[in-house]
Structure 1
């Protein structure tokens, strides 16, 4: 075989192995050294190709695709610092448990560490931030090469999609010439299938778990962001069985699918309730069961730690289970699933008064929150108005900092299939727009809105380059308070010296010209009436930017006034008991 045939067979073997392993989406950042694989991906009809020239944005775009589909997505870039620009998205993928298959093309070994251009040390580039990494051999005619790269490719996908999901890295060196033969067919894949085990507890574990439940008089369930692809029916059956109050975080996507017979157990205002000391003293749980990631609410987690429950059971798909409070007493290595429906509880000791106490307080706080927008004109009021106005079957991608906290505060119990997603693996504000664009392309049958602050939007303004290469459909709502709004709620805000230059960081920027640059529909909003009119109107273009101008000081004032009102209502109620 000539060099081109060897190279063609090599890259098509990789592609065939990826396809056979269930990969459907590939995000490519064009470059020279990755040419052979880029050609192979582009010429394979079984794959959908996405392009983004900025590798940093491309990494988050792929992250969004994988979050939307709960399937592995391939990232491909050239050699040098291109791969380093994937790093923030890979770190997020690790901690958010999202399956990415990262392919970095590399120079051959003889060009490394000798001053060759566009060459860095790419072996194990991402360190412990990937689940597994490997370097492939240079393409050659050795009979062992194709079987080796086939099985390592399959292994990479299997590891990425085995609980807990996460990113993997394959470094692939190529010598010139880099052009392949497009007539080459996908190589035969001899590896048939990987069989992995379901993560379910043993009979002994279930017996002890059941015993704890049966002995509990006052228990609560916490549901945070769940693993990708979780079937929530079993969780609701579990709630029905226990009849315990369940703290439902917005990112769990259980709030908008609460069955009617479970609404009495659903608690959504826990963050506000946890600001009242008297209430907390009355609801200290004997047992806490937590599914999914730790919730957004710092106050809820502080309450758990302070309560020091007799049993705090964390159910997680990773042996490195998440518990920043260091107060858990039991860990169950499992994914939420049918095993929950199979638990046979002979009796439940939960006191009815405990459930009623939680629910009464929740309804009082929810009523105060529902009335918030009648007088307030801050970001919370805009978020509340958005949630009231969106149609069924809508996705909201939310930035970290205040946007996700406002969603968690103002999203009530609904039954309208509005779902909420965010990058909460590391809680960063970088790459949010790119993730939302990838996410929207992964769920093209649903409308996607991005709720984001001005600094997070500025971080990733070049995300829209992706729209020059493939169709993108997204409505972006930028809450522009000219700076870092979340710091206004922190102790730093009470120290006047250097606050604005270090934390407030105003830029005095507006984003109409960004919209113009990318042919986006643009609407400037300064009132709730304007906002309601534009969010309920049909888009004129596939990309729409709604810029809502708000005031940081007003936001803090209104939010604290809400917390005060809820606290007063709870105090009055407690006084009457």
Structure 2
């Protein structure tokens, strides 16, 4: 039987990836990646998405992996096409998103001799991948086929034990097309390859034994604090909503201990179907007060999820002397202040279940301790309630179109269970500052791994494609400009999405920094207004665009956007400086109003 070595080997590799759970792939057109592209095209089990731009393709795959929780293949040709993948790989690395990066390459002998589209791709992403392999030229031998099994076994083990992007570099000799034969193999060889594949089993991930952890010194230390302390505090940082059980467990712990739960907007806890007064939605506004910040002295802090969005909370964590335990499945050090007492590598649900079991065995708390805990919790509840009232009187009363009001307009109108993707820079921060609790079970997504503003729309497209749910993106004009080319995907792939574009014609977030006092240099090098006509640009991609003249108009357009196909861009034109002044005025009002609460907090 005549074969092309590249294609035979590529098909065998893709067959093994199917066995470890790959069901989606993005493909970008090129020549050198022909063998892997055609192998994917032949794989009926894998849904393929053809995307022209490699950078967009990688972010799109990132979004699909976020929403689906399964590894997604990203493949491309050689040269700078490979380098285009890097921003999404960085985000996937810090977010622990499983991407399998397949980059085609020229044979090694061409490197350094001026060959077209030839760069050094070996270990090109080494600082931001969990595994990097150069597969070498395909060898259609028993040893060469075994190498495929070795590669996929390594990939599988890494994705199970230490999730994130993995990179496999695939050099191919010409010819690249399947009917350009390079070898002849026997039927016996084909049969032996199929038998080897059928017998190739992938080792299962071994879950850490929770019983052993509950015997550890750290666990006993935490248990003692939980049982005997008055002022406990739980902080829930960003945690994408692929695992609702985790959020439910965190809430159950807070309610069982009768302690406050400070919920970052990206934790998803503010939007559970079952709401709780233990969830504090306004921690940022609360902890901005220097007096409150000084007075809040927990006996212990349990931190779940990623590093929090709120700078006020981060400042509080950097100055507190309270023992803090950072708990996540892989023991990641989400601790910029580097003062946590311990990093605990346990799945939050496993950890919480073990803790709750021990608490049940320990029996009910002393009544005087329960009373003191209730007082501690009630301070946070009261403060949270007062801040909510101030949001209604201050933010909701502002004229159209102040940026901070857009947050709860979207939350109030969003359909039950829909996706909301929050762009970095101002949108995610405004949502953390101002988003109120809701029982709509909204799914919050974000790119907070490296927190860049590129690839936002592409990632959201991936989330929409994988989840099949209504998806809203809230984005600023600079992030929109970074990823505007991704709009072309909608028509090609039949995707629908609603984009709420907050256009303040600047880097609005810089108004909150001290550099804003530097006059013309600030405007010229930081604000950097672009004066773009986004309406005309969006229409060039055959997408829908409308300028928002009022809140009522936005309500109508936003609700009807879910009935339209394709991309819908609803643009607010705002003033960054004016919006910043409203935020400042709000926080000053919170600070002055809550000053009277400090006496209550300080009295045990």
TM-score using structure 2 length:
0.90
Matched, 1:238 2:253: yes
Counterpart in the other structure of 1:315: 327
Q: Shift of the alpha carbon at 1:265? A: 1.1
Of residues 164, 167, 171, the one that matches 2:169 is 171
Q: Shift of the alpha carbon at 1:55? A: 0.8
Which secondary structure does the structure 2 equivalent of 1:337 belong to? helix
Which secondary structure does the structure 1 equivalent of 2:31 belong to? coil
Matched, 1:366 2:375: no
Per-residue displacement from partner, 1:87-111 (whole Å, max 9, x unpaired)?
Answer: 0110011111111100001111222
Counterpart in the other structure of 2:121: 122
Matched, 1:337 2:336: no
Q: How does 1:141-160 map to 2 (within 5 A)?
A: 141-160=140-159
Q: 2:230 & 2:399 partners in 1: Cα distance?
A: 40
Q: 1:204 & 1:513 partners in 2: Cα distance?
A: 64
Which secondary structure does the structure 2 equivalent of 1:76 belong to? strand
Q: How does 1:531-542 map to 2 (within 5 A)?
A: 531-538=554-561, 539-542=563-566
Q: RMSD over aligned Cα, in angstroms? A: 2.1
Q: 1:321 & 1:561 partners in 2: Cα distance?
A: 35
Counterpart in the other structure of 2:134: 135
Q: How does 1:480-491 map to 2 (within 5 A)?
A: 480-491=503-514
Q: Conserved in 1, the CA contact under 8 Å of 2:234 and 2:259?
A: yes
Counterpart in the other structure of 1:215: 228
Q: 2:498 & 2:45 partners in 1: Cα distance?
A: 29
Counterpart in the other structure of 1:249: 264
Counterpart in the other structure of 2:377: 355
Q: Shift of the alpha carbon at 1:200? A: 5.5
Q: 2:406 & 2:238 partners in 1: Cα distance?
A: 24
Q: 1:328 & 1:158 partners in 2: Cα distance?
A: 30
Per-residue displacement from partner, 1:202-222 (whole Å, max 9, x unpaired)?
Answer: 132333321232232211000
Q: Decide whether aligned partners of structure 1 residues 199 and 503 sit closer, same or farther in structure 2, where only a CA change above 3 A counts.
A: farther
Q: Shift of the alpha carbon at 1:411? A: 1.8
Of residues 186, 204, 208, the one that matches 1:195 is 204
Which secondary structure does the structure 1 equivalent of 2:570 belong to? strand
Per-residue displacement from partner, 1:331-367 (whole Å, max 9, x unpaired)?
Answer: 2111112441232112554621111111111110111
Q: 2:331 & 2:378 partners in 1: Cα distance?
A: 35
Per-residue displacement from partner, 1:156-177 (whole Å, max 9, x unpaired)?
Answer: 13313434x2101000111111
Q: Decide whether aligned partners of structure 1 residues 170 and 108 sit closer, same or farther in structure 2, where only a CA change above 3 A counts.
A: same
Counterpart in the other structure of 2:215: 204
Which secondary structure does the structure 1 equivalent of 2:461 belong to? helix
Q: Conserved in 2, the CA contact under 8 Å of 1:97 and 1:227?
A: no
Per-residue displacement from partner, 1:174-225 (whole Å, max 9, x unpaired)?
Answer: 111111269x999534321221122455132333321232232211000112
Which secondary structure does the structure 2 equivalent of 1:65 belong to? helix
Q: Shift of the alpha carbon at 1:508? A: 0.5
Q: Shift of the alpha carbon at 1:114? A: 1.9
Q: Shift of the alpha carbon at 1:376? A: 4.1
Per-residue displacement from partner, 1:426-459 (whole Å, max 9, x unpaired)?
Answer: 1110111111111111111x10001000000001
Q: Decide whether aligned partners of structure 1 residues 181 and 221 sit closer, same or farther in structure 2, where only a CA change above 3 A counts.
A: farther
Counterpart in the other structure of 2:187: none
Q: Shift of the alpha carbon at 1:326? A: 1.3
Q: 1:203 & 1:381 partners in 2: Cα distance?
A: 46
Counterpart in the other structure of 2:280: 267
Q: What are the ranges of 5 or more consecutive residues in structure 1 without an aligned counterpart? A: none
Q: 1:452 & 1:11 partners in 2: Cα distance?
A: 39
Counterpart in the other structure of 1:325: 337
Q: Shift of the alpha carbon at 1:572? A: 4.6
| Worse-matched range after superposition: 477-486 or 508-517 | 508-517
Decide which structure has greater helix share.
2
TM-score using structure 1 length:
0.95
Counterpart in the other structure of 1:410: 434
Q: Shift of the alpha carbon at 1:258? A: 6.0
Q: 1:572 & 1:341 partners in 2: Cα distance?
A: 38
Q: Shift of the alpha carbon at 1:58? A: 1.0
Matched, 1:280 2:293: yes
Counterpart in the other structure of 1:383: 407
Q: Decide whether aligned partners of structure 1 residues 154 and 470 sit closer, same or farther in structure 2, where only a CA change above 3 A counts.
A: farther
Q: Conserved in 1, the CA contact under 8 Å of 2:138 and 2:144?
A: yes
Q: Conserved in 2, the CA contact under 8 Å of 1:222 and 1:290?
A: yes
| Worse-matched range after superposition: 343-352 or 363-372 | 343-352
Q: 1:278 & 1:518 partners in 2: Cα distance?
A: 52
Q: 2:331 & 2:595 partners in 1: Cα distance?
A: 42
Q: What are the ranges of 5 or more consecutive residues in structure 2 without an aligned counterpart? A: 181-189
| Worse-matched range after superposition: 338-347 or 81-90 | 338-347
Q: 1:452 & 1:476 partners in 2: Cα distance?
A: 7
Paired residues, number: 571
Counterpart in the other structure of 1:162: 161
Which secondary structure does the structure 1 equivalent of 2:117 belong to? coil
Matched, 1:111 2:122: no
